[in-house]
Amino acid sequence: MSHEQLKEKLDALQCHFTWYLGITGHIEPTHILQKLAVEIRHTAHRNQTALLGLQAYLYQLKHQSREALQSLRDAEEHERQDEQQASAAGSLIIYGNYAWIHYLQGSYGEAESYVERIRQLCPTPWDTRLVSHIQAQKGWSLLAIRARNGERARECFEVALMLEPGNIYFCAGLGMALYSSWSYFWYPDIARKAITQLERTILEQPNNYRAKIYLAKLLKEADIERSIALIEESLENSSDPEVIRASAFFWLQRSPDRAIGILQRALEQDPGYHLLYQALARCYRKQWLSAEKEEENNILEAAIQNLEQILQRHPDLDLVFVKLQLAEFYGARDPAQEEEIYRELQEVEDTLSPEGRQTLNLFWGKFFLYKKKSLHEAKEKFMEGYRIPALTNKRRECGQRLTKMAATMHHKQEADAILNFIRETNSHLPMEFAEADLD
């Protein structure tokens, strides 16, 4: 077939390359790959095909075709152990990913052969169970990327459950999707639905500790005793670093010392997981801010020493956020040392993730605002952070600080310039970046 005909058939496949997963140039694939590696090791669900396929897709985005193909071989090995209908759906997704990777490599004959294998494997019309398992795999893939995908994942699992109502893994997926959606939008009605679904999941899957952690976070205002019990049970029984990290954040407001101890335990098991170090840096900051006056300097010096050691031991990890937290600690005793880190990071800004660049500008802007008392330079940094089109809390805070600066300007022309900048920046971005996000 011609290249145009092949591309048309590829676009019609069900696989990670056609699911519009929300990974654009504004999201760093390396960060998702590191989170994904942890999830693949610790998943409590029948979603290995989805996660390994997503891994292949992310590797291909980084032009690492060899690693992408290995992920698909791993997915094939897993499928040999799965039940028939799920396996058929998994094979269809795997072959679709193979076809796309070969096509992107220029191996059009190989791509065409996988398209033919899909046609032979799944003659139309498709079995409804095949559709349900494909929808579920798509839902798991969306959830593995970011919280904002929760609503789309929810739709996938609802379709899967409509076709196969008794599947406990689909029910678990719906609970995870509802939690993910709530963690992004914070709507009470979503929280209620998530609680109901997660309660069902932990009854059906008592070893699903991610579900228990999510339920604990949802219940912490209404039933703190049950919430703590779920956290403690998960800490005692789970080796999943994401469960342990979430438990540490649960304890952070109540006892920074306890949160630090939890993370240090996790790091003994997973010393290569960068998000644990980021969480630890946040805990050190909370511990420092919560300290009695006479203890502040001792805690500050200990935090600086520990973060310096982390950066020395792990030069290969993405620890930009740890370095920025260290800069803030340096600034408490020597502002010039703080700014030196910002300047060093600015020199390698092209290598930072979008959120990393936003955070750099946010920290630097606050440095100018509070330590240099330079409104103009602070405004420039907040604007620079806001221009970076990744929808994060860091970008939101840059926008909020600009809005607050505009409200306190003595000259209307200066205030209007800031507000016009926000409107103009948002006008070139999708609706999800609207100014309402600054409320």
Number of other residues whose CB lies within 10 A of the CB of residue 24 = 11
Q: Is the pLDDT reported for residue 125 higher than 90? A: no
pLDDT digits (tens, 9 = 90+) for 76-85: 988 877 655 5
| Residues 338 and 328: beta-carbon distance below 8 Å | yes
Q: Looking at the domain 1-145, which fold is it?
A: 1.25.40
At 432 the pLDDT is: 58
DSSP 410-434: SSHHHHHHHHHHHHHHHHTS-GGG-
- 439 pLDDT tier (thresholds 50, 70, 90): very low
At 433 the pLDDT is: 56
- 434 pLDDT tier (thresholds 50, 70, 90): low
Better pLDDT: 314 or 433: 314
Length of the chain: 439
Q: Which residues contact 418 (CB under 8 A, 6 or more apart)?
A: 379, 402, 403, 405, 406, 409
pTM of the model: 0.86
Q: Tell which residue, 141, 169, 177, has the closest CA to residue 14.
A: 141
Give CATH for domain 147-238.
1.25.40.10
Q: Looking at the domain 241-333, which fold is it?
A: 1.25.40
Give the pLDDT mean for 197-212: 96
